[in-house]
Amino acid sequence: MFSNEFGSRILQAQCTSWHIATPSIKLQDTGVHVTVGSDWFLPDTPDLFPALSAVVECFGTQEGKTAKEVGDAKICRIKTLAGAEAVGKASEMGSIETGKKANFIAVDRDLSGGEFSGAKVLKTWFVVKMVWEDTDNAVSM
């Protein structure tokens, strides 16, 4: 389905399983902004890490490569700046830069290898203000 909302053409694709071949990789290779929305399923808990694992699996193992081989930057971009670009807000958000609105989390481990299982969010910031902290696992930052 195509949408002209936000002043740009957006192809909204839904996939029932990341194990089913998706055109996302081929689309991205042609210059299409590929991103992932956070409203694609309604889990029992609002844990985003299984969804992030699915993105790594889709763009990594589907090509027979690990997340590192596909490139941390490529996968990170799909999860951050590409979404802001899709809605015409890249100058305001989507990356942590001076003058932009920053929404981000702190986690209990390094996730750059694509291993999200068991990761815990320790703190959440929304528009540069900390809005949530796991008081059971508090750390100073």
Beta strands in 4-136 (DSSP E): 10-11, 104-107, 121-126, 129-133
pLDDT in tens, 18-51: 444 566 667 777 877 777 766 655 666 667 777 7
Total structural domains in the chain? Answer: 1
Tokens of 48: 């985003």
> Counting Cβ atoms within 10 Å, is residue 41 exposed (0-12), middle (13-18) or buried (19+)?
exposed
Task: Provide the domain limits for residue 95.
Answer: 2-137
Give the per-residue pLDDT at 16: 47
Q: What is the mean pLDDT of the chain?
A: 74
Using 50, 70 and 90 to split pLDDT, how confident is the model at 139? Answer: low
pLDDT tens by residue, 61-109? 555 676 666 666 777 888 888 888 888 999 999 998 999 998 889 999 9
| pLDDT interval class at 122 (50, 70, 90) | very high
Residue 107's pLDDT is 93
Residue 76, both tokens: 């990170």
pLDDT at 133 (0 to 100): 93
